[in-house]
Structure 1
Amino acid sequence: MFSYKPLEAHAYNYPNKTAAKAGDILVTKETNCKTDCKGLSGHAAIVVDSTYYVHISGPGAHPTKEKLSTWFDSRYGKSTKVVRPTSQYKGSPADAAKWAKNYVKEYKDAVYDITSGNHTFDRTYCSKLVWQAYNFGTAYPIIAPKHVGGLIHPYDFTTAASGGRYADLETVYTNW
């Protein structure tokens, strides 16, 4: 007798064969911005499970959930660092990922805006979305904005992983 078992999506492995984990942070030197964020560098996203990530790509875009393979098959993958919380991190990366996944559902019409404060949800940008997932999803921020209401840069996550003030992050993949 045959039994039916649905096929599960295979976990994505980064190009160095490290398995993707919920809460991983993707940072690239590439950007989709052409006007509103000209002069800013990079792009960030958060991995929400072993197959998908969440981000907002730039002006005119809304938050979306996409397959990790699309990140690494696109120009983003040509210059990417993946960082994740270390075992010393007091929060739960999985909770941050869950927050981000819910954010995309609840704020699917959120618009890209780098001038919005860090505690608003209907206007966001790539690295703010990642920061909010950790700040509101776990109550343990992984980086601090440079000042209250300050802009959170994608590279802030890679700096933290390089031994910055918040050393609760480590690099698990780099093609920088």
Structure 2
Amino acid sequence: MEFFNVWIRNGLVFVRPCVDDVRFKVYENDVWVASGLDDDGVLVTLQERKPNTILTIEYLFENKLGREHFPLISYYAIRERNYQAGDILVASDNLKSELTGYMGHSALVINENELIESPGLGPAIIRSSIKQFLDKHPVHAQFRPVQSEVGEKVAQYAIEYYQKYKLNVEKGIHKPTFSFDLSQELDDPWDKIYCSKLVWICYHFGANYTFENDHLWFSPEDLYHQLLENQDFELVYQHQNVKFLIDT
């Protein structure tokens, strides 16, 4: 007999009993987060929005104590690991260990072996192997657009964007430059660039798909949390230790 229905969306969990006259408590990774009574549901804000998080519902029904477990991994699509055009890699670790969990990094896959990214300093944009990203950033997640044609358009734009950047450099025009300057416009591809802005630009101009931005800059943390429960994307892979410490 199933005692509870659980829905998860955008970092919120709604727990509703399937039976009357039941008292229950909700735990996230063994930490109490909410209590409920009878058929009234409860809304919980997740603290750890990760597939390895486990929700436990402890309940009392007809004077009997029971528990139900809901691993979040069952709510995410974990696919066989491969790479397709338009895939997004988002890491919470950083080459500078003191920035791990605060800064992170992201890149855009253009084919089964390569990606385009803005790694910092110069050159501002590079075309490189997926392997080097995985070696540098093992603590990462991989997301894929549900519609493959969207990914193809985004990857094609990224390739053309990179080629135009290379031509600029050959002419002595170093535009865009790598910068986290908060005064830069998110939709300006030729002034300044950084890793997650590059992903934003390629989706915005390449496929007319625009990610929302909640603060002055569009960070890897913004990208990760928007993708995690976005119906237009599926989670292909996530390292169990992916975690951003602050909302940037």
Which secondary structure state, in structure 2, belongs to the residue aligned with residue 54 of structure 1? strand
- Following superposition, the deviation at residue 18 of structure 1 comes to 1.9
Pair member with larger Rg: 2
Is 2:107 aligned against 1:49? no
TM-score using structure 1 length: 0.75
Identity of aligned residues (%): 25
Contact 2:93 2:100 in 1 (8 A): no
Equivalent of residue 200 in structure 2, options 97, 113, 131: 131
Equivalent of residue 94 in structure 2, options 19, 31, 35: 31
Question: How far does the alpha carbon of each residue in 1:30-63 deviate from its partner, in whole angstroms, 9 at most, with x for none?
Answer: 33569xx999510010001111000011134420
Distance, in Å, in 2 between the alignment partners of 1:32 and 1:127 is 16
Distance, in Å, in 1 between the alignment partners of 2:124 and 2:109 is 17
- Following superposition, the deviation at residue 107 of structure 1 comes to 1.6
Q: Which residue of 2 aligns with 1:7?
A: none
Unaligned runs of 5+ residues in structure 2 are 1-78, 167-173, 243-248
- Following superposition, the deviation at residue 86 of structure 1 comes to 2.2
TM-score using structure 2 length: 0.54
Distance, in Å, in 2 between the alignment partners of 1:31 and 1:54 is 17
Q: Which residue of 2 aligns with 1:168?
A: 232
Q: Which residue of 1 aligns with 2:133?
A: 71
Matched to 1:75, the amino acid is K
Counting only pairs closer than 5 Å after superposition, residues 1-176 of structure 1 correspond to structure 2 as 17-32=80-95, 40-72=102-134, 74-76=135-137, 78-87=138-147, 92-108=150-166, 109=174, 110-115=176-181, 116-122=184-190, 123-141=192-210, 143-146=211-214, 150-163=216-229, 166-175=230-239, 176=242
**Equivalenced residues, count:** 150
Which secondary structure state, in structure 2, belongs to the residue aligned with residue 152 of structure 1? coil
Unaligned runs of 5+ residues in structure 1 are 1-15
Name the structure where strand makes up a greater proportion of residues: 2
Counterparts in 2 of 1:119 and 1:38: CA distance versus 1, 3 Å: farther
Contact 1:161 1:169 in 2 (8 A): yes
Counterparts in 2 of 1:68 and 1:153: CA distance versus 1, 3 Å: same
Contact 1:20 1:47 in 2 (8 A): yes
Larger RCO (CA under 8 A, 6+ residues apart): 1
